[in-house]
Amino acid sequence: MVTTVVAQGTFDILHPGHVHYLRDAAAMGDELVVIVARGENVTHKQPPILPDSQRVAMIEALEPVDRAVLGHPDDIFRPIEELDPDVIALGHDQHHDDDAIQAELDRRGIDCAVERASAREPDSEEELLSTGLIIERILEERR
Ligand SMILES: Cc1cc2nc3c(=O)[nH]c(=O)nc-3n(C[C@H](O)[C@H](O)[C@H](O)COP(=O)(O)O)c2cc1C
Ligand SMILES: Nc1ncnc2c1ncn2[C@@H]1O[C@H](COP(=O)(O)OP(=O)(O)OP(=O)(O)O)[C@@H](O)[C@H]1O
């Protein structure tokens, strides 16, 4: 039986931390589907610069990813119901509460584990493993 893993995030300006996360998530099962957050739903930090369709296309082009889909506008569990994954791989710093997600999966009758992916640390002082930090660097150096 094929096991499906779901990863999710904004993925605005791509960097090696994203690749690490998606490789880690892919290693948790046989196929990896990525739910890309709608820009309108990214309210806990600055919204993405790049449009939804461009972020989906870039994630789908990455080697560990089998499929990328744009998230639902109102109900983040709707795509999960449709995809029926075996594992949800949360990013190491994603603000979602693991137990709350597990409780909602149970409530909806979805048999799925919730795991945390590992973090990748910068391998040099110059490396920027955060979209927010890349944008800060651009604003500092390209005014
Ligand atoms: C299990 C799960 C499912 C999600 N599904 C959606 C979705 O359908 N639509 C959406 O806009 N965001 C969805 N999100 C939220 C975003 O992927 C994301 O967590 C957040 O908006 C972006 O912030 P981040 O990149 O800091 O994680 C989901 C998150 C989780 C944990
Ligand atoms: N250095 C990293 N190591 C491992 N995972 C990462 C790293 N950076 C981002 N991720 C993961 O990639 C996913 C998408 O990240 P997101 O789009 O929020 O980018 P980000 O670079 O963390 O952005 P920002 O720093 O602006 O919040 C999240 O699940 C996050 O945990």
Assign 26 a pLDDT band (cuts: 50, 70, 90): very high
Rounded to whole angstroms, how far apart are CA atoms 29 and 57?
22
Position in ligand 2 atom list of the atom nearest CA 129:
1
Range of the domain at 23: 4-141
Rounded to whole angstroms, how far apart are CA atoms 6 and 43?
21
Rounded to whole angstroms, how far apart are CA atoms 63 and 76?
25
Indicate which residue's Cα is closest to atom 28 of ligand 2.
91
Domain count, the chain: 1
Indicate which residue's Cα is closest to atom 29 of ligand 2.
91
pLDDT surpasses 90 at 143: no
pTM check: above 0.95: yes
Which two tokens mark 129?
A: 């493993």
Give, in degrees to the nearest 5, the angle at Cα 139 between 14 and 94.
Answer: 40
130: domain CATH number?
3.40.50.620
- What ipTM does the predicted assembly reach? 0.96
